[in-house]
Structure 1
Amino acid sequence: MSVWQLVAVGLVMLLGLLGVLVPGAPGQAIVWAAVLWWALTDMTPVAWGVLIGATALLLLNQALKPLLPPRRPRESGAPRRTLTLGGIGAIVGFFALPVVGAVVGYVGAVYAAERLRLGSHAAGWTSVRSVMRTTGYSVLVELLACLLVTGAWLGAVLWG
């Protein structure tokens, strides 16, 4: 597979990660389709292993979705910008501190945005709790699943 194709697959995965943050966008499906594209082009056992693992993880995430609170971003009281910054913080955190960094990045970015917007520490944490109850858990679980798939793909490309 050429370098340009790998870059294109990576960009499609990034689009899928950002799609997780947008209600109604098929972020998981986009990430999975990128892995499928790569596996069909690469045709190595590692590529097929990543595809099988990605499929299993994303199907498990879909099965667990009804157990999580539904997304109700308007009820959180936080602006859409705060939720977007939280998602970007999770993506950056995942790669800065693998896996655990996604949670730290999401919560930290939401807190920082709300602290700046509301002006106090207490109001910032109250808003973080509200965001986590109304949208945070479901977004974070879906984003973490997609980040794990993206990380597995990146690891297979770099060391496979």
Structure 2
Amino acid sequence: MELVTVVAALMIATGIVGLVVPVLPGLLVTVAGVLLWTLDRGDRTAWIVFAICAVIALAGWTVQYVVPSRRMRAAGVPTTTLLFGAVCGIAGFFVIPVVGLFVGFPLGVYLAEHLRLRNATAAWGATKVALKGVLLSIGIELAAACLVAATWVVGLLITR
């Protein structure tokens, strides 16, 4: 197996792991791995495989933002609350290593909603909706990355 193929496979795997453990832009790294392989092969089949992977990734990125945001809007969770949660999540990432993001985001959403609604029960309900939205978003991106990886494997088998 060629070195470039091994590096591409490692990039694809790293991208998928980066989605589960949010440290890397996982789908982007996965597509970059396919692109590396495509540039090395340079043949028509490799470019077709890359084009299919790029379409899957673009569809994943689109659906990843559209579906959860519609659900959160329908549940009445404002964008400012999500932004505050994101800022608290980023701050938490630096304050509490490893788990800070997972503590900061829900805490930020809860605090923003509690200040806005002045009701702990409603704030907790909005926090649950926001967490479900984030998990759905990650799940959609993970599914797209897995489809990209599977498409690449099929392309790899076809070009062997």
* C-alpha distance after superposition, 1:18-70 (max 9, x if no partner): 11123362111101111111111101211101111111111122222222336
Paired AA for residue 55 in structure 2: A
Counterpart in the other structure of 1:145 = 144
- Counterpart code for 1:139: I
Tell me the amino acid that sits aligned with residue 41 of structure 1: D
How many aligned residue pairs are there? 108
- Residue 30 of structure 2 is matched in structure 1 by 31
Flag the 1:14–1:131 CA change in 2: closer, same or farther, 3 A.
farther
Please list, as runs of the form range in 1=range in 2, the aligned pairs for 1:12-23 lying within 5 A after superposition: 12-23=11-22
1:46-85 aligned at under 5 Å gives the runs 46-69=45-68
**Cα distance change on mapping 1:63 and 1:41 into 2, 3 Å:** same
SS of the counterpart of 1:69? helix
Q: Matched residues, percent identical?
A: 24
Provide structure 2 residue ranges, at least 5 long, that are not aligned to the other structure.
Answer: 70-81, 90-98, 103-127
After superposition, what is the alpha-carbon deviation per residue over 1:102-140, rounded to whole angstroms, capped at 9, x for unaligned?
xxxxxxxxxxxxxxxxxxxxxxxxxxx989824332111
Question: 2:11·2:33 contact (CA, 8 Å) conserved in 1?
Answer: yes
TM-score of the two chains, using structure 1 as the length reference: 0.56
Q: Displacement, 1:159?
A: 3.0
How far the C-alpha of 1:15 sits from its partner, in A, is 0.6
Partner of 1:44: 43
For the 8 Å contact 2:4–2:40, the answer to whether it is kept is: no
The two structures have a TM-score, normalised by structure 2, of 0.56
Q: Could you say which residue in structure 2 is the equivalent of 1:94?
A: none
One-letter amino acid matched to 1:46: T
Q: For 2:68, what is the secondary structure of its paired residue? A: coil
Instruction: For 1:132 and 1:44, locate their aligned partners in 2 and report how far apart those are by CA, in whole Å.
Output: 43
Cα root mean square deviation, aligned: 3.0
- Give the deviation of 1:5 after TM superposition: 2.0
